[in-house]
Structure formats: structure tokens, C-alpha cells
């Protein structure tokens, strides 16, 4: 048991321990298995869902064409939309979650990432996207109101709004940890904003439809920003871009507000599109790097922490690994993107397969690469980075290669919890091991920090816009003008409320309190979305295909409710007992209870609807209920969505 043995090896035994590398798992085998499974799943399983469950049809007019307003509804090239969608869904989860879950060993996380993404996560994203484009780009809560019940719609709106605020705070916290005092990363990301504005104007006003030209201009400019960013540290500009924790939060809040209220084609879509080049390009480079370097995984397959008592995650493997890995396998936040900005920009229905199912497979691959990077570190070094010095000392472990890593990186990386730093070290270690790259450890480390922040920040802007839609839709039930997404006062006020809410949680929280709540909220939302998708399938008379969404719904919902229960009693009630953290404990406990109760109510309402359809033989179309005596009437056009 390597993780146990390393805790007792003396400092001078590194050589003898490293000779056991022939007994360690080669990461190349894991990557090959994952790629093969994903290719097969996309080729066959997604095609089955597209043809039988959703019944995609390019003769249908999508909401982007039917409701084109040049602001939120706008037909978009499928590659640009893929870039936006991937950039919007791929945030902190697939990067940070697998790194934190590595304390359980590489095998549990790898299995859940591969199995979860093909059978649950990609299905979840794809089916919800199909449901939204068939309902004029409506939100998840609105779909729940029609497919389950009005009560489910109201409860869903409340739960989803709370969940998206928590999710944005969890994602934003990772950005803060990555960019704090990092002038290179802050400069590069700041430069992507004017670059995106110019590219948006080029594609839509200066040279409409010239995607290739805009892409070349944008990509070259972003690469130039990355290179120039490396010159900022040590220059006279460093103080202007080396922001404190509070400074990063304020800057992020200002950006989130602006990105949410500007036309989607001007900043949000082109910035996400350009960011996707950096994201996908870096992931592809890491995949190639793993093939070339073939790193050995120093972390054992299964550690003793699967039984609980881990230094990073205190709970047992089940259920805590599943809510920790979160987005890399399945993410409820994705249902908000799939029923938020993406369906409003889809050019034709057949594009939904590549965007809905394909983008999630890409995110799963990101999670696997992150897991490999973390597990390629020596266990003692991994824990030394992800724990405070006091907690690490209590483990009795002896660092193996950390001093050399810190010297090569040029920074103190020990005692920097949260996952972002250890991931950057793992990435840099892979890149610098490629022939010809030796000696560039510091460059690759800072590049990885910048990449993580860029990766996550694109989810913040899209998420804020989606939350703004939810607020407007909810308040619009009481005051109709507020429901109009093009009404400027409503857009500004709802955006301000959303930004203030997630910025407050980041300001007051930490990774140990926000991430468990984020994981619970995110996975419960996935369970709710799968319940809505199952209802759509059953209401359409396609009961024989409901297993596609029902099986993952049951597993994710039960697992997350159990995790939520443990979170309240193990993480949040202890905060209440401490006067300095009592307020935070009460807020976290209350929100977690509210989310869990809302999820249970929606599940019960969904079961009641299924009973009416399957047993009482009632059939539903759109907003009215039709009683059938012999068989269930299909929704017009076939397909569940």
C-alpha cells in the first residue's frame, strides 16, 4: 500500500522507493481506455438517443431563428456554439474535483469519470438541450412546470436559483485561488475581453459570417496575450495586475455584470469561443503529453481513506467522492446552460448531438487528465500542497520531491489547499517532461495557473447570464415587464442581485465550506433535471426509453441526498458551534436543507405525474392535459423533446 508506506519512509529513501516505479500504474493505459469508451459512446449511444429518444429533425425551426432578436436569440455557427457551450459548462468541477478526490486513489475516480460521463452526464446535457429547443428555448424550471406540475415549476425556480448562486460561488472561488497575486494570469485574462469584443464585432458587423477570419484574429491575439503575460511579472505593470483576493473578487463581479447585460454575440459568445481554443488546445496538448511521457501514477489505486477520515475530504468514498468529482462525470449546472443560452443560439437540431453530448465527453476527458496530473505526484507531495502545514505534519508523511518542485517552479507551493496549485504542478510536471521542455517548469506552472483561471471564468459569465434569466422569469410571474429579457431595467437589476449574491459567498467562504455545498447542490440539480427529462420521455409515450434518464437519476439523487445529510451534520453544524463562523454555518445549513427539500418535492411530483400517465392513462401535451382511454398520445413531431 504505497500511500501507507510513504508515511514511514525516511527522507533518504527516495531512491529505493522510486525503483518501484515498475510496479506503478502507467497513466497511458487509463487514458487509452477512456478515449476508446468515449469514442464508442459518441458513435453509438448518442446516435441512439438522437434518433430514438429525442428524434432530432432539421426541418424544425429552432428558437434561434423563430425568436431571433439579435440580443439573446441568435443563430450561431455550430463550431462557435460548441466553443461557447464547452466554455460555459467546463468550469472548476472537472479540474478541481478529481484533484481533491485523488485522496481516495486513482481507480474510484477514474471509473466514475468514465462511466458517469457516458451514461449520465452527456445524456443529461443532451436530453435537456433537446427539451429546451422544442419549447422555444425555455428554462429548466419552465419545462418542469409543463412536464411535471405547476408546483414543480415554482419549487424548481427557487431551488435552481439557489443552486446556481452556490455553483457560481464555488466556481468563482477557484478563480480567486488561481489568480490571486498572479499578474501573468490576470493580464492574459483581462486582455481576452477587448479581443473578444473585437472578434464579436468582426463576425457580426464588420465582416458578417467570416468565422475563419475572426478565428485567426482571435486565436493569434490570445496567444500573443499569453506570451506578453509572461513578461508582466517583474515589470512596472506587475502592481496593476497582481491583485489581492478581494481585488480579484471585485474585478470578477464587475466583469460578470458587464458580460451578462451586453448582447450575447458581442462579448459572451466570442470570448467563450476564443477561450475554447485555449481550453481544447491545452487539453489536447496534455493528452499528447501523457502519450509521450507516459507518467506513472504514484498514488495507489485505492487508499485507506475510502473508509473515511481523509485529510482533504473527511467522509467515506460513498457518497463523498461523487459530489467531490461533480462536473467531470455529471453536472446539474449544465442543464442551466442547455436550457439557457445554448438553445437560444442553436442553428439546427442536428447540431445538438455534437454540442450536447460531445461537449460533455470533452469535459469528462478534462477530468481524467486532471486526475492523472494529481496522481502523478508523490502522495506525500500531493498532501503537502493540498493541506495546511499543521494538518500535513499530523499525517507523519515525509515529502519526496516537493523541494525540487518548488525550486523549479520558483514559488512556495506547499500549504496551498484547494486543488488548483497541485493541479498546476502536475500539469507542469507533464509538460516539462516532454523532450526539449526540460527547464521550463516555471513557465508551464504559471501557464497552468492562467489556464485554470481562464477555464473557470468562462463559466462565471455564462452562469451569471443564466441566473439573470431565472430571476427575470420568476419575478415576471408577478410583474410581466420584468420577464422580458430585452427590458434594460429588469436586466440590470436582476444581474446586480445575482452578482452580489455569488460574490458575497466567495467573500465570506472557503474551499472547505463552499465546495461540499457546491457539490451537493450541483448533483441534486442534475437529479432534478433528469427527473424532468424522464417526465418528458414518459409524457411523449416513449416509456420503453425512459431508462436512459431514469437509471442515472435514481443513482445521482439518492447518493447526493445522503451526502447532503452528512454535510449538514459533519461540516456545517460544527461551524454553528463556533461564534466566529456561526452565521456561515446557519446560512450553509439552511440553504442545503432548502435545496434538499425542494429536490424531494420535485421528485415526488414527478412520480405523481408518471403514475397518472402510466397507470391512469392520462396524456399531456404542452400546457393542457388530455385523457386517453387506450394509449398515450405522442407529442407532435415524435421524440421526447
Domains of the chain by residue range: 2-181+243-507
Which pLDDT belongs to residue 96? 87
Which pLDDT belongs to residue 2? 37
Which residue's entry shows cell 444581474?
495
**CA separation for the pair 544, 225 (Å, rounded):** 52
Contact 351, 273 (CB under 8 A): no
Which pLDDT belongs to residue 363? 93
| 126, 500, 514, 520 from 504: Cα distances, Å | 32, 6, 12, 19
Which pLDDT belongs to residue 598? 92
Question: How many C-beta atoms lie closer than 10 Å to residue 544's C-beta?
Answer: 9
**CA separation for the pair 52, 640 (Å, rounded):** 9
Phi and psi at residue 620, to the nearest 5°: -130, 140
**CA separation for the pair 339, 332 (Å, rounded):** 11
Cα 378 to the center of its chain, rounded Å: 27
Q: Kindly report the average pLDDT of the chain as a whole number.
A: 84
Q: What is the pLDDT of residues 392-422, one digit of tens each?
A: 988 888 888 888 888 888 778 888 877 888 8
Contact 636, 187 (CB under 8 A): no
**CA separation for the pair 199, 204 (Å, rounded):** 9
Task: Identify the H or E element spanning 620.
Answer: strand 618-621
**pTM for this prediction:** 0.83
DSSP state letter for 426 = H
Q: What are the residue ranges in the chain where pLDDT is below 50?
A: 1-21, 622-638
Q: What is the dihedral of CA 510, 512, 514, 515, to 10 degrees?
A: 130
Which pLDDT belongs to residue 292? 93
In sequence order, which residues have a C-beta less than 8 Å from that of residue 244 and are 6 or more positions away? Answer: 180, 181
Which pLDDT belongs to residue 11? 37
Which pLDDT belongs to residue 177? 72
Which pLDDT belongs to residue 591? 86
Which pLDDT belongs to residue 547? 96
Which pLDDT belongs to residue 632? 32
Which pLDDT belongs to residue 641? 54
DSSP string, 506-561: HHH--HHHHHHHHHHHHHHHHHHHHHHHHHHHHHTT-GGGTHHHHHHHHHHHHHHH
Which pLDDT belongs to residue 554? 96
Residue 275 grid cell = 477561450
Provide the phi-psi class of 405: left if phi over 0, else alpha when psi is between -120 and 50, else beta.
Answer: alpha
Contact 443, 449 (CB under 8 A): no
Q: Is the peptide bond before 32 cis (omega within 30 degrees of 0)?
A: no
Which residue's entry shows cell 497575486?
181
In sequence order, which residues have a C-beta less than 8 Å from that of residue 633 and are 6 or more positions away? Answer: 541, 619, 621, 626
Helix (H, G, I), strand (E, B) or coil at 623: coil
Contact 523, 556 (CB under 8 A): yes
Amino acid at each position: 500500500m504505497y500511500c501507507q508506506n510513504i508515511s514511514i519512509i525516511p527522507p533518504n529513501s527516495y531512491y529505493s522507493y522510486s525503483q518501484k516505479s515498475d510496479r506503478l500504474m502507467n497513466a497511458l493505459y487509463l487514458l487509452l481506455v477512456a478515449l476508446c469508451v468515449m469514442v464508442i459512446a459518441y458513435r453509438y449511444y448518442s446516435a441512439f438517443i438522437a434518433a430514438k429518444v429525442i428524434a432530432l429533425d432539421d426541418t424544425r425551426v429552432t428558437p434561434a431563428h423563430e425568436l431571433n432578436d439579435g440580443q439573446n436569440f441568435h443563430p450561431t455557427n455550430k463550431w462557435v456554439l460548441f466553443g461557447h457551450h464547452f466554455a460555459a459548462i467546463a468550469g472548476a468541477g472537472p479540474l478541481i474535483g478529481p484533484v481533491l478526490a485523488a485522496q481516495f486513489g486513482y481507480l474510484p475516480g477514474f471509473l466514475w469519470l468514465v462511466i458517469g460521463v457516458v451514461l449520465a452526464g452527456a445524456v443529461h446535457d443532451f436530453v435537456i438541450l433537446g427539451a429546451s429547443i422544442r419549447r422555444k428555448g425555455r428554462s429548466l424550471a419552465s419545462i418542469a412546470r409543463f412536464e411535471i406540475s405547476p408546483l414543480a415549476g415554482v419549487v424548481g425556480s427557487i431551488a435552481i436559483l439557489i443552486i446556481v448562486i452556490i455553483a457560481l460561488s464555488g466556481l468563482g472561488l477557484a478563480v480567486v485561488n488561481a489568480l490571486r497575486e498572479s499578474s501573468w494570469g490576470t493580464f492574459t485574462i483581462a486582455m481576452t475581453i477587448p479581443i473578444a469584443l473585437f472578434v464579436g464585432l468582426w463576425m457580426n458587423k464588420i465582416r458578417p459570417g467570416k468565422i475563419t477570419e475572426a478565428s485567426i484574429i482571435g486565436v493569434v491575439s490570445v496567444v500573443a496575450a499569453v506570451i506578453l503575460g509572461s513578461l508582466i511579472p517583474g515589470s512596472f505593470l506587475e502592481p496593476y495586475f497582481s491583485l489581492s483576493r478581494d481585488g480579484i473578487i471585485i474585478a470578477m463581479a464587475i466583469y460578470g455584470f458587464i458580460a451578462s447585460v451586453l448582447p450575447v454575440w458581442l462579448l459572451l459568445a466570442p470570448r467563450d469561443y476564443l477561450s475554447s481554443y485555449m481550453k481544447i488546445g491545452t487539453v489536447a496538448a496534455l493528452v499528447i503529453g501523457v502519450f509521450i511521457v507516459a507518467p506513472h501514477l504514484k498514488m495507489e489505486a485505492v487508499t485507506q481513506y475510502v473508509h473515511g477520515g481523509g485529510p482533504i475530504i473527511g467522509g467515506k468514498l460513498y457518497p463523498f467522492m461523487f459530489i467531490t468529482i461533480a462536473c467531470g462525470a455529471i453536472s446539474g449546472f449544465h442543464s442551466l446552460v442547455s436550457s439557457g443560452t445554448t438553445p437560444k443560439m442553436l442553428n439546427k437540431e442536428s447540431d445538438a448531438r455534437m454540442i450536447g453530448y460531445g461537449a460533455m465527453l470533452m469535459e469528462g476527458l478534462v477530468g481524467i487528465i486532471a486526475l492523472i496530473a494529481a496522481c502523478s505526484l508523490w502522495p506525500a507531495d500531493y498532501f503537502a500542497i493540498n493541506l495546511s502545514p499543521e494538518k500535513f505534519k499530523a499525517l507523519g508523511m515525509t515529502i519526496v520531491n516537493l523541494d525540487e518542485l518548488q525550486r523549479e517552479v520558483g514559488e512556495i507551493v506547499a500549504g496551498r489547499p484547494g486543488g488548483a496549485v497541485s493541479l498546476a504542478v502536475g500539469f507542469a510536471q507533464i509538460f516539462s517532461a516532454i523532450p526539449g521542455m526540460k527547464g521550463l517548469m516555471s513557465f508551464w506552472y504559471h501557464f497552468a495557473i492562467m489556464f485554470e483561471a481562464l477555464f473557470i471564468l468562462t463559466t462565471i459569465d455564462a452562469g451569471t447570464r443564466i441566473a439573470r434569466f431565472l430571476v427575470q422569469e420568476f419575478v415576471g410571474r408577478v410583474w410581466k415587464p420584468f420577464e422580458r429579457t430585452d427590458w434594460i431595467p429588469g436586466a440590470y437589476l436582476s444581474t446586480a442581485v445575482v452578482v452580489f449574491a455569488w460574490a458575497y459567498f466567495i467573500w465570506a467562504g472557503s474551499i472547505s465550506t463552499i465546495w461540499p455545498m457546491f457539490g451537493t447542490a450541483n448533483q441534486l440539480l442534475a437529479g432534478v433535471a433528469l427527473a424532468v427529462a424522464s417526465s418528458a420521455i414518459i409524457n411523449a409515450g416513449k416509456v420503453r426509453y425512459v431508462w436512459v434518464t431514469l437509471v442515472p437519476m435514481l443513482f445521482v439523487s439518492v447518493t447526493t441526498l445522503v451526502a447532503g445529510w452528512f454535510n449538514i451534520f459533519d461540516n456545517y453544524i460544527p461551524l454553528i458551534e463556533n461564534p466566529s463562523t456561526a452565521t456561515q454555518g446557519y446560512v450553509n445549513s439552511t440553504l442545503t436543507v432548502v435545496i434538499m427539500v425542494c429536490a424531494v418535492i420535485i421528485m415526488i411530483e414527478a412520480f405523481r405525474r408518471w403514475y397518472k400517465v402510466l397507470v391512469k392513462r392520462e396524456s399531456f401535451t404542452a400546457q393542457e392535459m388530455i385523457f386517453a382511454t387506450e394509449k398515450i398520445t405522442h407529442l407532435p413531431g415524435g421524440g421526447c423533446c
